């Protein structure tokens, strides 16, 4: 089975930092584009950051300059370093794996990030 397991979420004060991890199994990780999405209550799920199989990165404007996505193919893991966190970043964060050539798309279970004073 394919599994994406997120970790690293929690409660942090505004201005603080967290690093999320997503460990993948059941896929040939290096062939997949990886992404982090988030969903806040009452809002649609949005793409926060993605990193392609080739290492190219993209970010939603609201996190650009504060968040960094990276991957370690040897560990089958993708990371999201989140700095200067704002209350607006509060959401459940989901890991996504996508292989465009075969139309494959997988999701993790999500990890809660709460930014509050």
Phi-psi region of 39 (alpha: psi -120 to 50; beta: other; left: phi over 0): beta
Provide the pLDDT for residue 5.
97
- Scan for tokens 């584009």, then name that residue: 33
8 confidence band (pLDDT: 50, 70, 90): very high
Q: Which of 39, 33, 29, 27 is nearest to 110 (CA)?
A: 39
Provide the pLDDT for residue 109.
97
Helix, strand, coil percentages, rounded to 5, for the chain: 10, 55, 40
> pLDDT tens digits for 54-98?
999 999 999 999 999 999 999 999 999 999 999 999 999 999 999
Instruction: Judge whether 1 and 70 are in contact, CB under 8 Å.
Output: no
């Amino acid at each position: 089975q394919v599994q994406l397991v997120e970790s690293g979420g929690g409660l942090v004060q505004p201005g603080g930092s967290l690093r999320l991890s997503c460990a993948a199994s059941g896929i040939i990780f290096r062939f997949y584009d990886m992404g982090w999405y988030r969903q806040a209550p009452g809002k649609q799920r949005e793409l926060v950051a993605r990193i392609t199989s080739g290492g190219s990165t993209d970010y939603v404007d609201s996190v650009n300059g504060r968040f960094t996505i990276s991957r370690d193919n040897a560990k089958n893991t993708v990371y999201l370093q989140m700095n200067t966190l704002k209350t607006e970043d509060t959401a459940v964060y989901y890991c996504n794996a996508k292989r465009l050539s075969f139309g494959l798309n997988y999701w993790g279970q999500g990890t809660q990030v709460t930014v509050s004073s």
